[in-house]
Structure 1
Amino acid sequence: MNTTEESLTSLMDSSEATQYSTKYWYTSLLTMYFVISLCVVAGNTLTAIAYFTTPHLQTLQNLVICNLSLADAIIAVLSKPFFALSYTEAGIVFGARHKWVCLVSLWAVMGSGLCGILCVFVLSLERLLAIIFPFRYYTWVTDNSVRAMIVFVWAFAFTLTAFPLMGLNTWTHGARCFTMFVYTPTYNVYVATNLNVLILVAMALMNITIAVVAVKQNKVNIIQSGSTQNTGQYKVTKMLLTVIGVFYLCWIPYIVLTAIFTMTKHLPEWFALLQDLSKLLIGMNSVLNPLIYARGNEKFRAAFARLLRRAPRVSSEV
């Protein structure tokens, strides 16, 4: 037994040692996670740069998209300490011995995750107002109101998830750095689970409404204009509904499996494997978003192409 394994075993009795030790899939999981993280940061940073360096992309709709891209990139960065503390032997020992390291890493990943979900909620809300209230849209959705909403979302997410730092935790020496072991059951149920479910249900209702109304409006526009071409608003709505759909496909497995994992004490090892793999789906969601923007928005596609070709173009001119 090496030093790390001895330290790990010394933190708990022999009956718990197996539960707290690393699993055979951890190395592969970490490798896939870091590859996905690099793709997430690269793609979403490119989206943010495209927004800030392309004047005709700087609309309120695209500001909301840029906000989501920044949230995706930040999730990828802030989740790294959590993965290091949770999926390596040295990290497990370190997190089990150092309370604040564990709590801060969980706060970073929980806060950024909730912020990401709320950013998608804001995206849905913006489209709902544009589709349902087109005549009041520009009165309600202003530069100041959008920026205020973005600031509120970030502040709310990181404040709400900071409660365990303020004492709402059950951390003890030797505890595995997972929310189910260091957060109170009340916090896990009502904040980590129920709040996410409520947001997802609200978004589902909003996006079903958006889809139904958008299809009806597009049919009316086609009949009135005699053209089969989609209107600009319809194209934007179609792209953002694709973003929402992919979001649900990638997040639902994680939320469901994590809820079961948190509320059930004894589960088979294969379930833990599934729950860990579901975390990679969240990363894939953030990888796919920039591709959806490029496919659904010609201006984003052109901006991406310009940025990716910039270095060769500059060198050739010199």
Structure 2
Amino acid sequence: MEFENRSNSTSIAENVPFRYPEYLQLIVGIIGVIGNALVFILVAKVKFLQTTPNLFVASLAMTDLLASLLILAKLVYMTYPVPDYFHMTLYCKVVLSDVFFWMTAISSVFILIGVTIDRFCAIVYPFRYQASFTNAKAYILIVLAWMLAIVFVLFIPFVYEYQNGKCLQDFNNRTHQVVTGIGFFLFTYIFPMIFMVFAYTKMFKVICNASSDVQSQSSAISSRVRILKMLTTVVVVFFICWSPNQWMYFLLSTFEVRVDFYSTYYETTVLMCLGNSCINPFIYALKSRQFYEGFRTLVGCTNTIDHVDGI
């Protein structure tokens, strides 16, 4: 995603005033910081929220919090001229390349895969899950998600060059650009989406069969359904927000289909990507009774309790 990298056409030593899209991004960033910080604090402070699925939720909230902070940081440093004492090549490669924002975006994908694996094992293989899956393994999946994200973005600083006062994306050759674009599109979008569609379809089928066969466990099944519906909403919203930009930037531009990166449509796809970082807290608030009760407990509206059934 080309996060308003106007340095491609403007000297990075110039002062660039805000436009209408930047004000929207500012609002998105502020909401994202507040909402995701609250979610992370809730999981950290409220005992009955400290479940394995919520470890992934808290990790996703932290990732979205970092992404929101990076949105705000970008709006600040794109508005003011770069000080003369900055090493311009390094500034171009590390800051204007958006490598850290991409790291958070890709880690979100892999964390969603992690929570999908967790829920898939819990629902499809419940006895094996209860016997072997621990919070320590959840942490391993979360750390692995971040490590993979770091690996995937290592190349980004190397394809940005500071030339004639501008920060430009410069692949070594056409083959490098095509392989990179297709690889990113497949491994951070298509393959994860296929896996998650398969996994959630399988989980809903298993739960539907269980609900018809074991009426005595209706409470537990209802709880699993609520968890699954919330996580499915998070996954669906993620792919809705990222799909237009992924198709336009990584696929169409890779095959040299002309894309106007300053069009209203493209700027809308950018805002959708950024907006995903602030949407999840609203999903938790609307879909999760646990998080609602957790907030009430945190602010002292209810007595502290150890558990709330369902989610």
TM-score range, shorter chain: 0.7 to 0.9
CA–CA separation in structure 2 for the residues paired with 1:237 and 1:115: 21
| CA distance, structure 2, for counterparts of residue 132 and residue 30 of structure 1 | 45
Equivalence map 1:1-318=2 (5 Å):
27-84=19-76, 88=79, 90=81, 98-105=88-95, 106-165=98-157, 168-174=158-164, 176-177=166-167, 181-184=169-172, 188-191=177-180, 193-223=182-212, 224-225=214-215, 231-259=222-250, 260-261=252-253, 263-264=255-256, 266-268=258-260, 272-307=263-298, 309=299
- How far did 1:255 drift? 0.9
Greater RCO, CA 8 A, separation 6+: 2
**Is contact 2:67-2:104 (8 Å) kept?**
yes
Between the aligned partners of 1:278 and 1:68, the Cα distance in structure 2 is 21
Cα distance, 1:182 vs. partner? 4.1
Structure 1 position 113, deviation (Å): 1.9
Calculate the TM-score normalised by the size of structure 2.
0.78
CA shift, 1:80, in A, is: 3.8
CA distance change for structure 1 residues 103 and 160 in 2, over 3 Å: closer, same or farther?
Answer: same
Q: 1:74 to 1:17 in 2, by over 3 A?
A: closer
CA separation of 1:72/1:196 partners in 2, compared to 1, >3 Å: closer, same or farther? farther
Cα distance in 2 between the residues matched to 1:107 and 1:138 = 38
Q: Is the 8 A contact 1:171 1:183 kept in 2?
A: no
Partners of 1:121 and 1:151 in 2: CA distance: 13
Question: How does the TM-score come out when normalised to structure 1?
Answer: 0.76
SS at match of 1:135: helix
- Aligned-pair identity in percent equals 19
Higher relative helix content = 1
Query: How many residue pairs get matched?
Result: 289
Question: Does structure 2 conserve the Cα–Cα contact (< 8 Å) formed by 1:79 and 1:108?
Answer: no
Call closer, same or farther: CA 1:175–1:52 in 2, change over 3 Å. Answer: same
Deviation at 1:142, TM superposition (A): 1.8
Equivalent residues of 2:103, 2:153 under 8 A apart: yes
For the 8 Å contact 2:120–2:199, the answer to whether it is kept is yes
Return the offset for 1:191.
4.4
SS at the partner of 2:127? Answer: coil
Gaps of 5+ in 2: 1-5, 304-311
